[in-house]
């Protein structure tokens, strides 16, 4: 699969996660809908993390000729999704909340902002 195909696949998972996560923050917690959408959000974020780990870093230094600093956010997602799920199942709501906020802020907002920086594909697509 080419880098461009992976980028489209990444966008197909991260854009819905952006909106679902935002909705989750604004919606009532603990309801059936919250739990259902939370599971869907977590699946999107896990898929996003796995897809981005398949994409080589194009900007900045590379480690092992593939990974860059932006891949730290993929690892954040792979760590925080199971932590958040387990915390919620065990009733550790503060830990769940912290993991989910960290995931959204780091994995979507910060990583997303970095994706629009000069030299990155999204910046090129949107701003030429």
pLDDT in tens, 115-124: 888 877 887 8
Q: What is d(CA 90, CA 14) in angstroms, rounded to the nearest whole number?
A: 27
Q: Could you read off the pLDDT of 52-97 as tens digits, one per residue?
A: 999 987 777 777 778 888 899 999 999 999 999 999 999 999 999 9
Half-sphere exposure of 4 (CA within 13 A, CB side): 2
Q: Could you read off the pLDDT of 7-51 as tens digits, one per residue?
A: 999 999 999 999 999 999 999 999 999 999 999 999 999 999 999
Count of domains observed in the chain:
1
pLDDT of residue 50: 96
pLDDT of residue 12: 96
- Please, what is the average pLDDT of the chain? 91
pLDDT of residue 3: 81
pLDDT of residue 63: 78
Q: Domain residues for 32? A: 3-127
């Amino acid at each position: 699969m080419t880098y461009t195909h992976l980028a489209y696949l990444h966008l197909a998972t991260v854009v819905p996660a952006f909106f679902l996560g935002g909705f989750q923050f604004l919606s009532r917690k603990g309801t059936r809908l919250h739990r259902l959408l939370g599971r869907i959000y977590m699946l999107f974020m896990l898929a996003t993390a796995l897809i981005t780990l398949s994409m080589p870093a194009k900007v900045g230094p590379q480690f092992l000729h593939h990974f860059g600093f932006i891949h730290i956010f993929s690892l954040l997602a792979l760590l925080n999704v199971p932590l958040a799920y387990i915390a919620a199942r065990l009733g550790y709501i503060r830990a769940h909340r912290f993991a989910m906020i960290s995931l959204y802020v780091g994995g979507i907002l910060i990583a997303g902002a970095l994706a629009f920086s000069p030299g990155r594909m999204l910046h090129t697509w949107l701003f030429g």
